[in-house]
Amino acid sequence: APPIAPMAARRSTDEMRDRVVLGEFGVRNVHTTDFPGNYPGYDDAWDQRRFEEAFRVDVIREEEDTLEFDMVGIDAAIANAFRRILLAEVPTMAVEKVFVYNNTSIVQDEILAHRLGLIPIRADPRLFEYRNQGDQEGTEIDTLQFQLKIKCKRNPQAAKESSDPDELYFNHKVYSKHMTWVPLGNQTDLFPDADFRPVHDDILIALLRPGQEIDVLMHCVKGIGKDHAKFSPVATASYRLLPDITLLQPIEDEAAETLQKCFSPGVIEIQNINGKKVARVANARLDTFSREVFRHEGLKNLVRLARVRNHYIFTVESTGILPPDVLVSEAIKILMGKCQRFLNELDSVPME
């Protein structure tokens, strides 16, 4: 067989190192290759200066509870560490103990307690300590107390023939807005301008009918998602690799229109060049990679679908307790703390 030209060999090696290629059946180049000596002629030894030059974070979209940002120049292991810390190790406050004084609604006590636990509480966890193991009583530094006391009554002014519960009864829907903060100890002085309450006012907790009532006291404590999902500060935290779509030759007219339909809207645009419709990749980032193009015999060999191996697109959606950018910086601090602990352990263990 004729030897491969050095340029072509280098190109294919570059592709193996930098791109994850999506074929019709299966995915190529998924294994991590960033260790020394894997490819002849490449110096893949880790170097801090080179890492600092290549690494960057770009914020793409920032809304009240959603953050989309790119992290470029890291490995999947690091990206996954951030994702898992966001899900399971950034602390929040949530209802842990429910003292039921009266509950004549049709919702059983334990179901009610579980529902209350899942309501996100707007309270900055950084202001509180973790409660000590075995502590029965909460104190002002580790516990927030809420009360929910509500009774359903008939509306005497309701029209006789009415069948609408909203008109017939008062307080027949128990919402999260009915939870009120009861300061413990000196919390009024500790948090003079605090507004501790559920993140959303309109979470439906239970339905009542005349004569039924709920009277409960709740203790919120600080915890992490590892122990219970109710402490997780994010609704979702995920990442994906940046899509990279290459057209291997010009695609025109009908083929261009078919190609455009194979991808998510906005990925392929059709330009008019000398009276011909010509397809070009406008924004590969928007694609979800359904691989629809592989169903078309005439198109599947004209397109290369790949993902950039070290370019991660993170999406972090907060439950509203803390803004997503704060969650990400907290996650980074937690990872730094883990690294520091690990280094301290290495220092303290005597080498043989």
pLDDT in tens, 25-83: 989 888 776 677 777 778 878 889 999 999 999 999 999 999 999 999 998 999 999 99
Choose among 246, 244, 251, 256: nearest CA to 289: 244
Mean pLDDT of 9-19: 84
Mean pLDDT in residue range 287-296: 92
Query: To the nearest 5 percent, what fractions of the chain are helix, strand and coil?
Result: 30, 30, 40
User: What single-letter amino acid sits at 232?
Assistant: S
Tokens 């080498």 map to which residue? 351
Residue type, 214: I
Please check the confidence at residue 2 and state whether its pLDDT lies above 60: no
Reduced to 3 states (helix: H, G, I; strand: E, B; else coil), residue 73 is coil
Strand partners, 98: 218
Answer for the pair 133, 246: CB distance below 8 angstroms, yes or no.
no
Lowest-confidence segment of 68-72, 194-198, 224-228 by average pLDDT: 194-198
Residue 87 has phi, psi (to 5 degrees) of -75, -40
Domain at 17-90+233-248+302-344: CATH code: 3.30.1360.10
Residues with Cβ < 8 Å from 214, sequence gap 6 or more?
A: 102, 103, 104, 105, 112, 148, 149, 150, 174, 205, 206, 208
Q: How far apart are CA 5 and CA 7, in angstroms?
A: 6
Distance CA 242, CA 72 (A): 10
Q: How many CA atoms lie within 13 A of 44 on its CB side?
A: 15
pLDDT digits (tens, 9 = 90+) for 80-123: 999 999 999 999 999 999 999 999 999 999 999 999 999 999 99
Please tell me the distance from the alpha carbon of residue 167 to that of residue 169, in angstroms, as a whole number: 6
- For residue 238, pLDDT beyond 80: yes
Inter-residue contact 269 to 247 (CB < 8 Å):
no
Q: CA separation (Å) from 251 to 29, 259, 303, 311?
A: 27, 8, 10, 28
pLDDT tens track for 121-153? 999 999 999 999 888 888 999 999 999 999 999
Structure token digits, residue 280: 């070009």
Enter the CATH code of domain 92-232. Answer: 2.170.120.12
The DSSP string of 139-182 is -TTT-EEEEEEEE-EE-TTS-TT---HHHHEES-EEEGGG-EEE
Q: Which of the pair, 238 or 35, is modelled with greater confidence?
A: 238
Q: 3: pLDDT confidence band, cut at 50, 70 and 90?
A: low
Q: How confident is the model at residue 259 (pLDDT cuts 50, 70, 90)?
A: very high
Long-range contacts of 158-163, Cβ-Cβ distance < 8 Å, separation of 24 or more? none
Q: Where are the domains positioned within the chain?
A: 17-90+233-248+302-344, 92-232
Task: List beta partners, residue 269.
Answer: 280
Query: Could you please report the per-residue DSSP string of 268-336?
Result: EEEEEETTEEEEEES-GGG-----GGGG-TTTTTTEEEEEEEEEEEEEEEE-SSS-HHHHHHHHHHHHH
In angstroms, rounded to a whole number, what is the distance separating the alpha carbons of residues 7 and 16? 14
Q: Are 146 and 93 in contact (CB under 8 A)?
A: no
Position with higher pLDDT, 274 vs 317: 317
